[in-house]
Chains A and B, each alone.
Chain A
Amino acid sequence: MIIAEGKPLVEVAGLIQEARKVLVVGCGGCVTVCLAGGEKETGILAAALRLLRQKEGNPLETVEVTLTRQCDPEYVDMLEKYVTDDVDAIVSLACGVGVQFLAERYNKWVVPALNTKFAGGTVEHGVWEERCGLCGECILYKTGGICPIIRCSKSILNGPCGGSQNGKCEVNPETPCAWQLIYDRMQALGKLDLLMEIQPPKDWSKSRDGGPRKVVREDVRLA
Chain B
Amino acid sequence: MQDFEPKIIAFCCFYCAYSAADLAGSLRLQYPANIRVIEMPCSGKTDVRVLLEAFEDGADGVYVLGCMEGDCHFLKGNFRAKRRVHQAKKILDEIGIGGERLEMYNLSAAMGPRFAEIAREFTERIRKLGPSPLNKKYASANSTKAGEQE
Contacts and interface: CB of A to CB of B under 8 A. Distances in A.
Contacts of B134: 51, 54-55
Nearest to A21: B142
Given A8-B94, A9-B94, A48-B91, A54 B56 contact: yes
Contacts of A8: 94
Given A40-B49, A44-B52, A57-B138, A51 B145 contact: no
A9 to B, nearest CB: 5
A192 interface: no
B47 interface: yes
Interface string A37-75: 000100110111011111101011111111000000000
Interface string A159-177: 0000000000000000000
A66 B147 CA distance: 10
A44 B143 contact: no
Given A44-B52, A47-B52, A61-B141, A55 B97 contact: yes
A10 interface: yes
B55 interface: yes
A51 B47 contact: no
Contacts of B49: 40, 43-44, 47
A47 B52 CA distance: 6
Q: B interface, how many residues as a size bin?
A: 20 to 34
Contacts of A40: 47, 49
A179 B41 CA distance: 50
B37 interface: no
A66 B146 CA distance: 8
A144 to B, nearest CB: 36
Contacts of A48: 52, 91, 94-95
A61 B142 CA distance: 5
B25 interface: no
B144 interface: yes
A92 to B, nearest CB: 15
Contacts of A66: 146
A44 B25 CA distance: 35
Interface string B94-108: 111100000000000
Given A40-B49, A50-B56, A61 B95 contact: no
B141 A50 contact: yes
Contacts of A60: 141
Contact of A61 (B96, B97, B143): B143
Given A47-B56, A54-B140, A64-B145, 5 more contacts: A51-B95, A54-B134, A55-B97, A57-B138, A65-B146
Interface of A: 8-10, 40, 43-44, 46-48, 50-55, 57, 59-66, 82
Interface of B: 47-49, 52-53, 55-56, 91, 94-97, 133-134, 137-138, 140-146, 149
26 contacts: A8-B94, A9-B94, A9-B95, A44-B52, A47-B52, A47-B143, A48-B95, A51-B55, A51-B95, A52-B95, A54-B56, A54-B138, A54-B141, A55-B133, A57-B137, A59-B138, A59-B141, A61-B142, A61-B143, A61-B144, A62-B143, A62-B144, A63-B146, A64-B144, A64-B145, A66-B146
